Amino acid sequence: MSTSDSAARYSRGAIILHWLIALLIVGNFIGAWTSEDLPRDQKMIIMGYHKANGVLILLLTLVRIGWRFVYRPPALLATLKTWEATLARATHALFYLLMLAVPLAGLGLHSAFGKGKPVSMFGLFDFPALPVGSDKPTIGLYHELHEVTATAMLLLIGLHVAAALKHQFLDRDGTMARMLPFLR
């Protein structure tokens, strides 16, 4: 990667937010999957962390969006094909949409199912519930929205990782080094 390419790295704040949110999202998938077959008391503990992490993902995504307006991301590499650049822009837009939609749907589900009970943020403070109904159709709607958007997020993560690996190992164009601080 040339000196001019290294100037096209994401800012330190963007890199930290990217990886922190990514770890929280992966952790939430793992927590949700592993809790399914656990006894109810253990499942409730894990789901408490799942909900708090979801709210944290939502709040960090808002910070990340603000950061993106203040610290513009580097331009896409000029070597990208038109379809790659279009797919990259669409993927990033969908990520931001889903990083808002998945936790909002989850918060809606918690709010409806919990009848307005706030989300405990790791026992430190409570995050308010959304003002939604607690009837079965509302609970069903938010449950379906949370599952569909989470599944879309999982598919998008797969596409994103595959594209990053393609750029790193096939194209060798330095794309991954823009978001990984230890690559050059």
Q: What is the pLDDT of residue 184?
A: 64
Tokens of 105: 């749907």
CA nearest to 115, candidates 141, 138, 133:
133
Q: What is the pLDDT of residue 182?
A: 83
- Cα–Cα distance measured from residue 53 to residue 61, given in angstroms and rounded to the nearest whole number: 12
Tokens of 145: 């929205």
Tokens of 126: 């409570």
- Cα–Cα distance measured from residue 133 to residue 115, given in angstroms and rounded to the nearest whole number: 7
CA nearest to 102, candidates 149, 158, 50, 48:
149
- Cα–Cα distance measured from residue 56 to residue 60, given in angstroms and rounded to the nearest whole number: 6
Q: What is the pLDDT of residue 1?
A: 39
Amino acid at 155: L
Task: Evaluate if pTM is beyond 0.85.
Answer: yes
Q: Which sign does the torsion angle of CA 102, 17, 155, 48 carry?
A: negative
Contact assessment for residue 9 and residue 174, using Cβ atoms and an 8 Å cutoff = no
Low-confidence stretches of the chain (pLDDT < 50) are 1-6
Burial (CB count <10 Å: 0-12, 13-18, 19+), residue 29: middle
Q: What is the pLDDT of residue 176?
A: 92
* 37 φ/ψ angles, rounded to the nearest 5 degrees: -100, 10
Q: What is the pLDDT of residue 155?
A: 98
